[in-house]
Structure 1
Amino acid sequence: MNNNSYSNSYKEAGVDVTAGYKAVELMKQYVGRTVTKGVIDGIGGFGGLFELDMTGINKPVLVSGTDGVGTKIKIAFLLDKHDTVGIDCVAMCVNDIICCGAKPQFFLDYIACGRNIPEKIASIVSGVAEGCVQAGCALVGGETAEHPGLMPEEEYDLAGFSVGIVDKDKILDPTTQKAGDVMIAIKSSGVHSNGFSLVRKVFDVNEENLAKHYDELGTTLGEALLTPTRIYVKAIMSLLDAVKVKSISHITGGGFYENIPRALPKGISAQIKRSDVQVLPIFDLIAKTGNIPERDMFNTFNMGVGMTVVVDKADADAAIAAIKAAGEDAYVLGELVDSDMGVIIC
């Protein structure tokens, strides 16, 4: 901790720089869990240093991704539980990066808060570190900014940024997809980090409602909603080693109808039988409670499908086996057909 840096005048204006130093000291134990062989120096410098391992990579291409957690953070505020939203933040970035076949290398976070409470900031970072461990990438730096007057003292926002690497010759090529290819679903853990503005409206979210237990969920509403986003890095890396993958989609905001077409070539659509979608109970509860039309549900939420993967029909069984061996659950979701509709749910 820097004992020579303090300003009473700045503190009286709402910014306590010494709280920032304490937060850094508290979070170091969590950051240390994420260190990989590419990390050159610890946190605290002006930039995070990382040496890329180029073994087996002939034409390196860097892939970047950035995202936040969205209004799911409101659930964390109400439950006063801050050690899981960091996992969501990492997941939203690294799950995008792997869609082109890249392996995440490092991550940085950005926390803006009304008041820097070191223990709370450290708790948030503990989740970020856990997400990095799950993704196999290093937390090489970040920023905590105290913004008095911009937001309430007890609130914060969280965003992140990640960089991955892929050999240019191994970047996934969606144009190789054709009618008859199989689309595989990798299951989600719940709502993940999308659609929470609608979720909060549906349940009129407050502390009392979040504490309500639902038999169909097997838990309270708050616990179900705060379940962290799955991180699929290890499963996808294993899958890429096992079979030829043609495309990957991360099912985030916009649900099936927005995200699946992003990885399809022109003239090809994904045809999915509604009865084949293994919808999680939380989505049935949202639809029922909010009287939300089914199409809106599929155009807002992941519905139990965190990622979709397209492979040749002959590789479907091997692909599912590889995903399951890596700890995720997967099943055949549908197939590709000649069409310009993007997604056909029938």
Structure 2
Amino acid sequence: MSEQPGLSYAAAGVDIDAAHQAMKGVAAMVRSTATPDTLSELGSFGGLYRVPRDAKQPVLVASTDGVGTKLKVAFMAGRHGTVGEDLVNHCVNDILVQGAKPLFFLDYVGVGKLEPGVVEELVSGVARGCRANGCALLGGETAEMPDMYTAGEYDLAGTIVGMVEEDRVLDGRAIRPGDAIVAVASNGLHTNGYSLARRIVFDRMGLGVDDAFPEEEGSVADVLLRVHKSYLRSLYPLIEAGRIRGLAHITGGGLVDNVPRILPDGAAARFDLSSWTVPSVFRVLRREGGVARDEMFRAFNMGVGMAAVVPAPDADAVVRDLAAAGETAWIAGEIVPGARDVILSGE
């Protein structure tokens, strides 16, 4: 019987040298996100971060999420530089709704085989998102796992940790019937609804990523890969000033499932659908997919990225201040007596 050659990790599909080379490429990006409270360098077993010295009663707020099947569009288009921003901004918004500012972020990339430049593109987006939101990219993990992922595909996830003073936690308890709901516009699908959107666009409509998207400027890839917005810069000053009683990030489940998460017992949210024009991307998806209205409002954000509950007398001023901060905002509804649900009216 002939002897078989000895095996190596590289022969089994894991190239440690390629991983080291990729990490050299991202080191400068990671360093560019450091804040004064970052205490460790890339390569440590764990990231070190000091709780800000001026904190009085700090409460840490943490959240973990992924980009979901939006990644499938990135694979098809060969564009990997924006999904990292999607990830950071989504997580920033998720802790912002509880009044927290981000401190640091950790990312995870799982791939079947490390492709030259792809990890660097992914991390460049994460680092760009961290810099824009003032948080440190404290560390992360890149795992090469043959046979776990289809060639050319990867998964991307991350964890954010932020801080809020205990007496400033937003938990919705201050919400009362009579309060106004101010909607803050999204710029597209953000990171939700892509399983349905892909079925409509690629299967029903037969479009490719380089084709023009109907009623929109740009290609299918341009429209579907728009970066999920961060609302930190525009909303945090209002939170600090105590002008927001509750805040909902409109992600998977849409207005219908996300707004009730912040409502106290005895309160419901009524949205006036005539108060805004649903963006064309959602109108096209609804028409071409034959999707029912209620299904659209559960699968997609329908043009609302954040819903802020504010005292009615301050609603107009909040809208003006958000506009001055560069947002499109409007009074979209009100809090009414009810059973912690959402009422869609006016269409």
Bin for the TM-score computed over the shorter chain: over 0.9
Aligned residues of 2:94 and 2:249 also touching (Cα < 8 A): yes
The normalised TM-score by structure 2 is 0.94
Within 5 Å, give how 1:106-125 maps onto structure 2: 106-125=104-123
Structure 2 match to 1:132 = 130
Q: Distance in 2 between matches of 1:33 and 1:217?
A: 35
1:49 is aligned to 2:48? yes
Aligned residues of 1:135 and 1:232 also touching (Cα < 8 A): no
Q: Distance in 2 between matches of 1:267 and 1:248?
A: 17
Structure 1: gaps spanning 5 or more residues? 1-6
- What amino acid sits opposite 2:160 in the alignment? S
Structure 2 match to 1:59 = 57
Within 5 Å, give how 1:175-186 maps onto structure 2: 175-186=173-184
Structure 1 match to 2:27 = 28
What displacement does 1:8 show? 7.4
Q: Distance in 2 between matches of 1:18 and 1:116?
A: 10
SS of the aligned residue for 2:182 comes to: strand
Aligned residues of 1:238 and 1:326 also touching (Cα < 8 A): no
Q: Distance in 2 between matches of 1:101 and 1:120?
A: 34
Report the RMSD for the aligned CA atoms in angstroms: 1.7
CA deviations on 1:82-125 (whole Å, 9 max, x unpaired) are: 00000111122111111110111000000000111241100000
Give the paired residue count. Answer: 339
The normalised TM-score by structure 1 is 0.94
Q: Distance in 2 between matches of 1:158 and 1:330?
A: 31
Within 5 Å, give how 1:135-284 maps onto structure 2: 135-204=133-202, 209-284=208-283
Structure 2: gaps spanning 5 or more residues? 1-5
Q: Distance in 2 between matches of 1:176 and 1:231?
A: 24
Q: Distance in 1 between matches of 2:340 and 2:214?
A: 38
Aligned residues of 1:242 and 1:319 also touching (Cα < 8 A): no
Structure 1 match to 2:88 = 90
Runs (4+) of structure 1 moved beyond 3 Å?
205-208
Aligned residues of 2:214 and 2:284 also touching (Cα < 8 A): no
Q: Distance in 2 between matches of 1:277 and 1:267?
A: 27
What displacement does 1:71 show? 0.5
What displacement does 1:256 show? 0.9
* Change over 3 Å in CA distance of 1:8–1:122 after alignment to 2: farther
SS of the aligned residue for 1:198 comes to: helix
SS of the aligned residue for 1:223 comes to: helix
What displacement does 1:13 show? 0.3
Identity %, equivalent residues: 42
- What amino acid sits opposite 2:225 in the alignment? L
Structure holding more helix per residue: 1
Q: Distance in 1 between matches of 2:50 and 2:291?
A: 49
Q: Distance in 1 between matches of 2:37 and 2:275?
A: 43
Structure 1 match to 2:101 = 103
Q: Distance in 2 between matches of 1:8 and 1:19?
A: 18
SS of the aligned residue for 2:8 comes to: helix
What displacement does 1:215 show? 5.0
Q: Distance in 1 between matches of 2:290 and 2:81?
A: 32
CA deviations on 1:206-263 (whole Å, 9 max, x unpaired) are: 9952222135111111210010100111222122134421100000000011001101
Structure 1 match to 2:335 = 336
Within 5 Å, give how 1:276-315 maps onto structure 2: 276-315=275-314
